[in-house]
C-alpha cells in the first residue's frame, strides 16, 4: 500500500476518533514512521504550535514516554497506554496508542489520544476491574502496586503494613531502585515521617517538596531526586489503618483538589477490595487451621517413633503456620535442646540450630523455650525486636539471620497431664505473617496434639529401653524367666525354660514342665503351684529340676501374679534361680558343724570325766591333809610360836577352801557324767531343804526368804536341789552391807514350762557382767570380800540346760538381782524335755 492509499485510511481513522470525543481530547494520527499525519486543535494546543504547522512533523521532540509508546505499538502490534508530560505544561497526560492496519498485519500508522490524568472516572476504570479480580490481601497489594501508581500518575510508591503503633513494615514497592526498597524494610516508627503520621492518625498526607521540608524535614533525605510531590494514603478497614500507600510524583500536583479527589477515589476502591480480601483471607485461614489440626491429629497419631513424631510436628508447622519451627526437649542436665528443626528453606536449618542453641536456651529469660519448659507458659512475640538478632556476636551469622528474616515468634509448652514434655517454637520471617491471638490459640491446639503424640512416642521409647534392659538383666543374672496363663498353664514360647531344661514347646506345654521336676518334689510342687494360683498369692518354693545335660540342679522358684486394672490375674511371671552351689555349700557346712559338734562333745565329756576323776581322787589325800593339819593345830599348838601358829592356821584354811572347790568341781563334773532320771519334784520342798542347809547364813545375816506357791516340775531332785541352794545362797551372800537380805521366789506357767525367779535386794551386777557370771570360775569379787569358788552359777546353768530350760539374770547395781530360769512342767513328755531343746 502506497502512502497515497494510506492517507484516506489515516484520515478516516482520525475522523472516527475525533467524532467520538468531539474535539475535547487531544487526538492525533501518525504514519508508521511516526510522523504526525493529522492532529486536532486540542493536540496542537499541547505543543503550542498550530495544527497546520504540526502536520508531517516527526514525533521527535515530544515527551519520550509518548514516543516510546508509539514505537511499541508499531513494533508489538498492540495497544499501549503510558504517561507523558508535555514540557511546558508539566501536567501528566495519559496517552493511549492504537496500531492502525492497512491490510492483514500491515501497519500503516498509529492513532493516539491523550487525556488529562486527574479524572476520577478514569481512575475507577483503571482500578476497579483488576481489583474486582483479587481474592487475597496479597492480590490487592499486587494490584495496587501494579495499577494504582499508573492510574493516578505516580512514578513510584510503596505499601507499608501497619502492625501496630510502633511496627511498620514495607511489604512492597514499585518504581524505586532495589537499594531504596531494602533500606526501608522496617520503617522507623518513631520518626516524624508522613507515613507514620498517616498510620497513626488515619489522615492522608499530600505534600509538595516545600510542604515536606516544612512539616517532615527528617524525611527529606529519603526523597528521591525525581520526586516533586508525595502522598501517604492510609487504607483503613474497620477503624484501623492496615496499610499505607505512599506515592511519589514527578509533578507538583499531589496537593491539588483534582489530584486529591482522584487519590481519594483510589483509596475508596482499595479499601473496599481490602475489606473483601481480608474476609476471604480470614475464611481461608480458618479453613487452613481446621485442616492443620485434623492433619495433625491423623499424622501424629500414626507414629510411635520419637524422631519421626518430632519431624512431623515441625513439618506440619512449616506447612501451615510458620516459616520455621522447632521442638525443644529437656536434656539430662536440666537444660533444653532443639530436637527437631524445620525451615521452608532446608539450607537454613543449620544456621537456625546454632542460633536457637545460642540465643533461646536461657531459662531465666522470659520468652525463651527454656522458660516455657520451666514455667509451662506460652509466649508470643508478634514483632521480634532487631536487637535479639543483633545480640549475636558473629557478624556473619547476624547477617544471615537478617537475610533469613525473623519477624514473629510463638513458644508453646507441650503439656500432658500437667507435665511439660517439650516446647514447640514457631517463627515467621515476614511481616505478612505477624502472629496474633488466633495464631497463639492455633499453636496451643497444635501443641495439645503434638504433646500427646510426643508423650506416647517417648513412653514407647522408654518401654522399649526398659524391655532391653530387662532382657540384658535376665541374661546377666543367669536366671530363667517364664510366664504362665492366669489359670496356671505354661503356654506359648518359653525360650528360657526350653534353654534350661532342653524341653521343647510340645514337651513343656500346659503342665508338661512337671516332667522336668525331680520325682520327689513333683507332687509337693504341683500342690503348692495350684494353691498359689487359686489364692493368687506369690508362689515361692524350692525344687530340683532336670536341666538340659540330664543332671538335677536345685532352684529357688518365685512367681508373682500380674494383675489387671480390675484386679483379675492377667498372667504369672516366674523366675527360676539356680541355687545348687548354695545348697551344696549348706550341706557341706552342716556336715562340718555336725563333725565339730561330735568332736567337741567328745572332748567335753573327756574333760568332765577328767575333772570328775581328778576331783574325786584328790578328795582322799586332801582329807588326810585336813585331818593331819587339824591334829597339828589342836595337839601341838603350844610347840609353835605365834608366827608358826598363824602359818598353820593358814594351811588349815587353804585346805578347807580346796575341799569346797573339789566338792563343787565334783558336783559340776557329775552333772555331765550322771544319767538324768526325771521325776516330779516339788520345788517348794527343794526351797525348804536349801533353807535348812543355809540356816546358819540366814541367821547371821538376819535375812528373810519368802516364796509363793511353787510348782512341781519334772527333773532330778538332786540337781534341782543344787540349783535352788546356789541361787538362794548367792542371794543371801551378795547382800548390801547394813541391809538385811530379802529374797523372794515365785513361779509362773509358760506353756509347757515353769518360769521361776529368785529376787534379792543385794548388791546387784553391772550390765557388762550379766552373761559372764555363768562361766566357770568367773567371780567379780575377791575371796576376802565374798567367799566362793566361781562355780555356783556354772552349775546352775548346766542343771537348767540339762533339764531343757535356760537361765538368765536381770539386775540393777545397788538395788538387787532377779535370776530367771525355766524348768519343764510335769505335763511335758519326757522326750520333749530333752536337753537339746533350749528354752
Chain residues that interact with ligand ADP, rule: CB under 6 A: 726, 730-731, 734, 760, 762-765, 773, 778-781, 788-794, 817
3-class SS of residue 414:
strand
Nearest CB to ligand ADP, comparing residues 34 and 791: 791
Angle formed by the axes of helices 792-802 and 642-673, to 10°?
Answer: 10
Nearest CB to ligand ADP, comparing residues 188 and 764: 764
C-alpha grid cell, residue 312: 512431623
The least CB distance from residue 605 to ligand ADP, in Å, is 22
Query: How far is the C-alpha of 820 from the C-alpha of 839, rounded, in Å?
Result: 12
The least CB distance from residue 681 to ligand ADP, in Å, is 21
Greatest Cα pair distance, the chain, in angstroms, is 199
The least CB distance from residue 500 to ligand ADP, in Å, is 60
Contact 130, 147 (CB under 8 A): yes
Nearest CB to ligand ADP, comparing residues 15 and 785: 785
The least CB distance from residue 749 to ligand ADP, in Å, is 25
Could you tell me which of 335, 311, 336 has the C-alpha nearest to residue 325?
A: 311
Contact 811, 818 (CB under 8 A): yes
DSSP 57-80: -BSTTS-HHHHHHHHHHHHHTS-E
Query: How far is the C-alpha of 1 from the C-alpha of 102, rounded, in Å?
Result: 7
Nearest CB to ligand ADP, comparing residues 645 and 693: 693
Could you tell me which of 142, 178, 176 has the C-alpha nearest to residue 248?
A: 176
Nearest CB to ligand ADP, comparing residues 355 and 819: 819
The least CB distance from residue 599 to ligand ADP, in Å, is 28
Nearest CB to ligand ADP, comparing residues 343 and 733: 733
C-alpha grid cell, residue 364: 531465666
C-alpha grid cell, residue 67: 514516543
3-class SS of residue 626:
helix
Nearest CB to ligand ADP, comparing residues 683 and 811: 811
Query: How far is the C-alpha of 424 from the C-alpha of 440, rounded, in Å?
Result: 11
The least CB distance from residue 775 to ligand ADP, in Å, is 9
The least CB distance from residue 613 to ligand ADP, in Å, is 23
Nearest CB to ligand ADP, comparing residues 685 and 780: 780
Query: How far is the C-alpha of 655 from the C-alpha of 755, rounded, in Å?
Result: 39
Query: How far is the C-alpha of 721 from the C-alpha of 298, rounded, in Å?
Result: 95
The least CB distance from residue 657 to ligand ADP, in Å, is 11
Nearest CB to ligand ADP, comparing residues 242 and 798: 798
The least CB distance from residue 660 to ligand ADP, in Å, is 9
Nearest CB to ligand ADP, comparing residues 40 and 761: 761
Beta strands in 86-228 (DSSP E): 92-103, 106-116, 156-164, 167-174, 186-187, 205-208
**Order of strands across the sheet that contains 480-485:** 480-485, 569-578, 552-563, 539-546
DSSP state of 497: H
Nearest CB to ligand ADP, comparing residues 762 and 824: 762
Could you tell me which of 594, 327, 364, 534 has the C-alpha nearest to residue 450?
A: 327
Angle, CA of 172, 176 and 179, to the nearest 5°: 85
The least CB distance from residue 734 to ligand ADP, in Å, is 3
Residue with cell 482499595: 270
Nearest CB to ligand ADP, comparing residues 273 and 727: 727
3-class SS of residue 87:
coil
Nearest CB to ligand ADP, comparing residues 676 and 770: 770
The least CB distance from residue 768 to ligand ADP, in Å, is 12
The least CB distance from residue 794 to ligand ADP, in Å, is 6
Strand-pair partners of 812: 816
DSSP state of 144: I
The least CB distance from residue 615 to ligand ADP, in Å, is 16
Query: How far is the C-alpha of 631 from the C-alpha of 69, rounded, in Å?
Result: 171
Could you tell me which of 675, 671, 683, 686 has the C-alpha nearest to residue 824?
A: 683
Amino acid at each position: 500500500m502506497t502512502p497515497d492509499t494510506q492517507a484516506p485510511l489515516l484520515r478516516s481513522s482520525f475522523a472516527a476518533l475525533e467524532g467520538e470525543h468531539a474535539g475535547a481530547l487531544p487526538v492525533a494520527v501518525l504514519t508508521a514512521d511516526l510522523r504526525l499525519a493529522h492532529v486536532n486543535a486540542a493536540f496542537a494546543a499541547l505543543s503550542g504550535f498550530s495544527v497546520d504547522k504540526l502536520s508531517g512533523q516527526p514525533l521527535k521532540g515530544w515527551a519520550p514516554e509518548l514516543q516510546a509508546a508509539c514505537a511499541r505499538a508499531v513494533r508489538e502490534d498492540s495497544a499501549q497506554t503510558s504517561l507523558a508530560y508535555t514540557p511546558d505544561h508539566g501536567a501528566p497526560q495519559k496517552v493511549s496508542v492504537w496500531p492502525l492496519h492497512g491490510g492483514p498485519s500491515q501497519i500503516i500508522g498509529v492513532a493516539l489520544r491523550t487525556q488529562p490524568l486527574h479524572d476520577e472516572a478514569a481512575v475507577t476504570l483503571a482500578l476497579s476491574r483488576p481489583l474486582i479480580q483479587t481474592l487475597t490481601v496479597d492480590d490487592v497489594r499486587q494490584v495496587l502496586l501494579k495499577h494504582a501508581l499508573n492510574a493516578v500518575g505516580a512514578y513510584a510508591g510503596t505499601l507499608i503494613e501497619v502492625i501496630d503503633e510502633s511496627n511498620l513494615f514495607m511489604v512492597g514497592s514499585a518504581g524505586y531502585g532495589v537499594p531504596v526498597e531494602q533500606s526501608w524494610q522496617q520503617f522507623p516508627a518513631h520518626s516524624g515521617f508522613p507515613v507514620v503520621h498517616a498510620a497513626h492518625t488515619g489522615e492522608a498526607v499530600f505534600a509538595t517538596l516545600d510542604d515536606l521540608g516544612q512539616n517532615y524535614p527528617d524525611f527529606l533525605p529519603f526523597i528521591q531526586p525525581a520526586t516533586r510531590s508525595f502522598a501517604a494514603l492510609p487504607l483503613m478497614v474497620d477503624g484501623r489503618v492496615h496499610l499505607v500507600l505512599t506515592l511519589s510524583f514527578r509533578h507538583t500536583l499531589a496537593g491539588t483538589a483534582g489530584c486529591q479527589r482522584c487519590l481519594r477515589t483510589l483509596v475508596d476502591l482499595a479499601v473496599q477490595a481490602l475489606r473483601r480480601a481480608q474476609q476471604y483471607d480470614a475464611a481461608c485461614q480458618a479453613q487452613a487451621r481446621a485442616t492443620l489440626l485434623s492433619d495433625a491429629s491423623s499424622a501424629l497419631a500414626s507414629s510411635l517413633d520419637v524422631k519421626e513424631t518430632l519431624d512431623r510436628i515441625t513439618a506440619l508447622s512449616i506447612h501451615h503456620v510458620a516459616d520455621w519451627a522447632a521442638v525443644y526437649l529437656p536434656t539430662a542436665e536440666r537444660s533444653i535442646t532443639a530436637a527437631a528443626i524445620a525451615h521452608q528453606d532446608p539450607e537454613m536449618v543449620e544456621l537456625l540450630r546454632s542460633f536457637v542453641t545460642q540465643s533461646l536456651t536461657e531459662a531465666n529469660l522470659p520468652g525463651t523455650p527454656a522458660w516455657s519448659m520451666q514455667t509451662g507458659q506460652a509466649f508470643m512475640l508478634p514483632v521480634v525486636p532487631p536487637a535479639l538478632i543483633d545480640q549475636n556476636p558473629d557478624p556473619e551469622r547476624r547477617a544471615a539471620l537478617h537475610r533469613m528474616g525473623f519477624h514473629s515468634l510463638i513458644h508453646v509448652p507441650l503439656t500432658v497431664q500437667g507435665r511439660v514434655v517439650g516446647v514447640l517454637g514457631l517463627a515467621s520471617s515476614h511481616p505478612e505473617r505477624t502472629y496474633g491471638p488466633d495464631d497463639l490459640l492455633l499453636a496451643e491446639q497444635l501443641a495439645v496434639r503434638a504433646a500427646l503424640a510426643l508423650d506416647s512416642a517417648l513412653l514407647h521409647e522408654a518401654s522399649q529401653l526398659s524391655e532391653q534392659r530387662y532382657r540384658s538383666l535376665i541374661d546377666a543374672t543367669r536366671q530363667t524367666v517364664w510366664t504362665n496363663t492366669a489359670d496356671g498353664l505354661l503356654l506359648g514360647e518359653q525360650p528360657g525354660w526350653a534353654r534350661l531344661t532342653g524341653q521343647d514347646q510340645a514337651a513343656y506345654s500346659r503342665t508338661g514342665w512337671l516332667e522336668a521336676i525331680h520325682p520327689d518334689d513333683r507332687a509337693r510342687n504341683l500342690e503348692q503351684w495350684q494353691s498359689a494360683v487359686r489364692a493368687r498369692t506369690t508362689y515361692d518354693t524350692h525344687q530340683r529340676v532336670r536341666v538340659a545335660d540330664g543332671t538335677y540342679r536345685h532352684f529357688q522358684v518365685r512367681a508373682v501374679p500380674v494383675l489387671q486394672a480390675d484386679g483379675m490375674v492377667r498372667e504369672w511371671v516366674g523366675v527360676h534361680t539356680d541355687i545348687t552351689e548354695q545348697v551344696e555349700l549348706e550341706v557341706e557346712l552342716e556336715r562340718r558343724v555336725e563333725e565339730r559338734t561330735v568332736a567337741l562333745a567328745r572332748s567335753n565329756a573327756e574333760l568332765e570325766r577328767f575333772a570328775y576323776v581328778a576331783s574325786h581322787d584328790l578328795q582322799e589325800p586332801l582329807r588326810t591333809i585336813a585331818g593331819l593339819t587339824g591334829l597339828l593345830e589342836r595337839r601341838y599348838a603350844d610347840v609353835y610360836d605365834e608366827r608358826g601358829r598363824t602359818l598353820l592356821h593358814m594351811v588349815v584354811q587353804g585346805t578347807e577352801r580346796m575341799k569346797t572347790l573339789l566338792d563343787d568341781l565334783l558336783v559340776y563334773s557329775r552333772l555331765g557324767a550322771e544319767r538324768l532320771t526325771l521325776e516330779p519334784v516339788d520345788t517348794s520342798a527343794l526351797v525348804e531343804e536349801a533353807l535348812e542347809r543355809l540356816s546358819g547364813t540366814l541367821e547371821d545375816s538376819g535375812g528373810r526368804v519368802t516364796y509363793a506357791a511353787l510348782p512341781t516340775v519334772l527333773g532330778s531332785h538332786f540337781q534341782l536341789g543344787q540349783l535352788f541352794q546356789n541361787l538362794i545362797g548367792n542371794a543371801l551372800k551378795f547382800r548390801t552391807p547394813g541391809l538385811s537380805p530379802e529374797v523372794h521366789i515365785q513361779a509362773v506357767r509358760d506353756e509347757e514350762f515353769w518360769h521361776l525367779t529368785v529376787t534379792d535386794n543385794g548388791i546387784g551386777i553391772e550390765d557388762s557382767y550379766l552373761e559372764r557370771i555363768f562361766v566357770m570360775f568367773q567371780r567379780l569379787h575377791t575371796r576376802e570380800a565374798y567367799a566362793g569358788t566361781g562355780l555356783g552359777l556354772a552349775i546352775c546353768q548346766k542343771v537348767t540346760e540339762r533339764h531343757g530350760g535356760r537361765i538368765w539374770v536381770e539386775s540393777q547395781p545397788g538395788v538387787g538381782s532377779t535370776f530367771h530360769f525355766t524348768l519343764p512342767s510335769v505335763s511335758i513328755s519326757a522326750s520333749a524335755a530333752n536337753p537339746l531343746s533350749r528354752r
